[in-house]
Amino acid sequence: MFAKTDVQPLLNEGAAKEDIAASIFQAVVNQTISGLACGRPIKGNVAFLGGPLSYLSELRKRFIETLNLTEKEIIFPKEAHLLVAKGAALESVSQSCISVQKLKSKMELLRSYKDNTEDHLKPLFTIDEEYREFQKRHGKDTIKRKDLKKHKGKCFLGIDAGSTTSKLVVIDEEGTLLYSAYKNNEGKPLESVINMLKKLYKKIPEEACICYSGVTGYGEKLIQTALNIEVGEIETIAHYTAAKSFMPNATSIVDIGGQDMKYIKIKNGAIDNIMLNEACSSGCGSFLETFAKSLNLSMDEFVREAINSRKPIDLGSRCTVFMNSKIKQAQKEGYSVGDISAGLSYSIIKNAIQKVMKIRDVNTLGDHIVVQGGTFYNDAVLRAFELIVGKEVIRPDIAGLMGAYGIALISKERYKKQNIEEYKSTILKSNEIEDLKINIMHTRCKGCENKCLLTLNQFSNGKRFISGNRCEKGAGLEKAKKDIPNLYQYKYERLFNYKPLDEKNAPRGIIGIPRVLNMYEDYPYWFTLFTKLGFRVVLSEKTNRKTYEKGMESIPSESVCYPAKLSHGHIISLIEQGVDTIFYPCIMHSRKEDKNANNDFNCPIVISYSENLKNNMEELNDGDITFINPFLPFNKKGLEKRFLEIEEFKKYNFTVKELKEAINEAEKEYYNFREDIKKKGEETLEYLKQNNLKGIVLAGRPYHLDSEVNHGIDKMITSLGLAVLTEDSIAHLRRSKKTDKSSRPMDISFKTL
């Protein structure tokens, strides 16, 4: 379910289905090797058992290639999907046999088993009359409608390219709904919208004119580009606009769609906070649909069963995978479909409130709550929400169309601001849609080392849409934004662009340093120290996804942070370069960035992760690699004494004099590096001031400079015309309590985003 949240937008943007399928197989392989094996390498003779590995040849292929298995090491038994059952049968041979009659009686006992516990949730409705009153109350929240065929004059079009469905509405100048369409996009949002438009154009009378159009949702940019639509808006604003038209004094808006959830907190008539489901899509409409289909029930039948249930089971608010397990257990215990359906309705709301909205007190929702999204068409889910929050809410009769209706209203407002009486929307007309051809290509961006997989949608109208890029280069915007300062990029280059000694000028040989964790802060020090001592310093590769995959077999814990997991691949990177001596120390205390700082203790992972590497990577224990990872103080006096005591360094016969000289040079370069970052920060602020530009301080750990960790967010920010500063480039400019404003080096205004 976590992957599903990523897959749906990729489908909506035109990514090739075969690429997504291969990626899903690879994700399963990576999860098995890194998450389940947890540092126990899968080697030797490997047996492939179970249904998925029996029926999915490409999944086996991904395992074989990733594990580098030879043909002799692959064990794929006949009927591998039945092997566990066969094992159970063989095991029973050695046990006392049970008679057929006894076995039949036990099976009959299971069939007749019923749960008699009283630990159930409150029924959604206790009597039928209660449900009829509920329907009557929610039947009042309707939108004004008119017949499109009878309409004359201006109208406005709104499209919501949702995660799993496409919605289209047409409204008049008063916001009256003239036409609507709602259908599953089947992973092809552009195609589904085009079909909707074709049907609309056949029904719209000649006297009606679409003056302005807008689009929102997952496929917003793709559809806006392809169909030449005027307005594109993020879906939260579209949903807020629609909800406000139903309830101007709304305090909260809760939207549960097929794939995602949104919670919009309203304060004093404006958006105060927005919460979205961050990764897992469990508890959304698609989960209910999937479960209903598994029972061969339509959603209407599924809802009816929930409404008639009198003892809903408490399924909690768990992840979909665990929820499936609990549902199966409930079925074994004799709960009815209705009890489970009602329990799921409760669970969806609990998941929304506790995991997405993070509400501890339902009173913070206020008294004017609007619920929307296709999932709230489900009366069982709506009733569960009201019971849990203890309040009656508003569900518009167009709950599933609110995004499309909201963007139609926005289009109407934007049109009026244009103040142009005679204007027709630029959206493609019927004949233009018929002539529209789309050429989809897939390529690797060559703009930087990320080598993003780009999906290029080239349209016959001359426009194109590019997705998959993590920075402005992939979208072809780098020329327009090339002068925008990016201190993440500057700091990264300043940090690692040291030129090592040639091998002939390095009397003490080669020493490797992994490009990981605290090295993103301390590398200038260690490079200078070892270079001065006569080593050729070799740095591991610049991080990419392959770096992670190189070392994932030896990762002992799934819960450790991703930057730490990357360390394993960086060690392999050094070994692949022929480095047989690697230095990666354990540093407990960092340098204080300010004399008034009260803490210089490193993160526990940063302090000791090299110990983890030493104890879990077979490559470091086979005798061919010298891995030097002492616990060291990061100060001049302590290092001079400690370095001479390190066993692995004794063979180099460092003299006290040369060690002191090397440490002095390292100290000097370390502070030079920090001063350069500060100067660059001041220069950038002056540049912004002179050019009337704005910048963002992108705060993070030192290793967030790694593009594999930050996902190119710095380049995304500069593509928007905003400069990127690091926190250490401007921290020294803050106002001191002992100085007045005039004593500051530069007048800066800071805002927290």
Residues 6 or more apart whose Cβ sits within 8 Å of residue 196:
159, 166, 168, 181, 183
Q: Which residues of 167-176 are buried (b: 16+ CB within 10 A; e: fewer)?
A: bbbbbbeeee
Q: What is the CA radius of gyration of the chain?
A: 31
Question: What single-letter DSSP state applies at residue 601?
Answer: B
Q: In this structure, what token pair is assigned to residue 408?
A: 């139609």
Convert 63-87 to b/e letters by CB count within 10 Å (16 or more is b): bbebbebeeeeeeeeeebeebeeee
Nearest to 156 by CA among 205, 200, 209: 209
The 3-state secondary structure of 504-545, one letter per residue: HHCCCCEEEECCCCCHHHHHHHHHHHHHHCCCEEEECCCCCH
Residues in the chain, total: 753
H helix or E strand, kind and range, residue 714: helix 713-719
Helices of type H across 68-174: 83-93, 100-111, 128-138
pLDDT for the residue 421: 65
Q: Using a cut of 0.75, tell me whether the model's pTM lies above it.
A: no
Phi, psi values for residue 56, rounded to 5°:
-105, 95
Domain match, 155 and 281 both: no
Determine the pLDDT at residue 470: 60
Do 154 and 80 belong to one domain?
A: no
Closest by CA position to 348, among listed 292, 281, 400: 281
Phi, psi of 264 (to 5 degrees): -115, 120
DSSP 589: B
Q: Which residue has the tokens 């963002």?
A: 696
Residue-level pLDDT at 742: 45
Number of domains in the chain: 5
One domain for residues 639 and 609: yes
**354 and 301 in one domain?**
yes
Same domain, 329 and 258: yes
pLDDT of residue 268: 85
Q: Within a domain: residue 723?
A: no
Q: Give strand pairing partners of 154.
A: 209
Q: Final residue of a domain: which of 36, 59, 86? A: 86
What tokens appear for 407 in the block? 């963007």
Task: Kindly state whether residue 98 falls inside one of the protein's structural domains.
Answer: no
Other residues' Cβ atoms within 10 Å of the Cβ of residue 129? 9
Same structural domain, 240 and 277: no
Q: What is the identity of the amino acid at 655? A: T
User: Quick check: is 706 in a domain?
Assistant: no
The three state secondary structure string of 448-495 is CCCCCEEEEEEECCCCEEEECCCCCCCCCCCCCCCCCCEHHHHHHHHH
Q: Are residues 304 and 417 in the same domain?
A: no
Q: Cα separation of 314 and 122, whole Å?
A: 10
| Rounded distance between C-alpha atoms, residue 462 and residue 694, angstroms | 33
Q: Are residues 299 and 162 in the same domain?
A: no
Q: Exposed, middle or buried by CB within 10 Å (0-12, 13-18, 19+), for 505?
A: exposed
Residue pair 278/357 in contact (Cβ under 8 Å)? The answer is: no
- End residue of a domain, out of 615, 638, 673: 673
Per-run averaged pLDDT (10 residues), the chain, 753 residues: 61 73 84 74 85 87 87 85 83 67 75 60 85 89 90 92 85 92 82 89 89 88 87 89 90 81 85 73 66 80 87 71 68 79 85 78 88 87 90 90 93 83 81 81 69 75 72 52 83 92 89 92 92 92 87 81 90 91 86 71 84 86 84 77 80 85 90 92 92 90 89 85 90 62 46 42
Residue 715, domain member (yes or no): no
Instruction: Determine phi and psi for 174, rounding to 5 degrees.
Output: -95, 0
How far, in whole angstroms, is CA 298 from its chain's centroid? 31
Do 322 and 416 have their domain in common? no
Q: Residue 257, SS3? A: coil
Give the per-residue pLDDT at 423. Answer: 77
| Residue 561 covered by a domain | yes
Contact 540, 514 (CB under 8 A): yes
pLDDT at residue number 683: 92
Q: Find the farthest-apart pair of alpha carbons in the chain and give their distance in angstroms, rounded.
A: 96
Residue 657 shares a structural domain with residue 608: yes
| 105 part of a folded domain | no
**What residues make up the domain containing 451?**
437-467
**b/e for 455-491, b at 16 or more Cβ within 10 A?**
bbbebeeeebbbbbbbbbbbbebbeebeebbbbbbbb
182 and 308 co-located in one domain: no
10 Å CB burial of residue 573 (0-12, 13-18, 19+) is: buried
Q: Torsion angle of alpha carbons 530, 547, 453, 485, nearest 10°? A: -30
- Give 25-58 as a 3 state SS string: HHHHHHHHHHHHCCCCCCCCCEECCCHHHHHCHH
Q: Please report the pLDDT score of residue 479 as a whole number.
A: 45
> Could you tell me which of 456, 458, 467, 455 has the C-alpha nearest to residue 437?
458
Q: Of 614, 636, 634, 633, which Cα lies nearest the Cα of 625?
A: 614
Q: How far is CA 95 from CA 88, 91, 92, 102, 739, in A?
A: 11, 7, 5, 15, 85
Q: Domain containing 413 — which CATH number?
A: 3.30.420.40
586 lies in the same domain as 652:
yes
Contact (CB, 8 A) for 633 and 589: yes
Is 726 contained in some domain? no
391: phi then psi, degrees, rounded to nearest 5: -145, 150
- Single out the residue in 618, 647, 673 at which a domain terminates: 673
Asked, for residue 511, whether it belongs to a domain, the answer is yes
Residue 357 DSSP code: S
Angle ∠(206,209,214) on CA atoms, nearest 5: 140
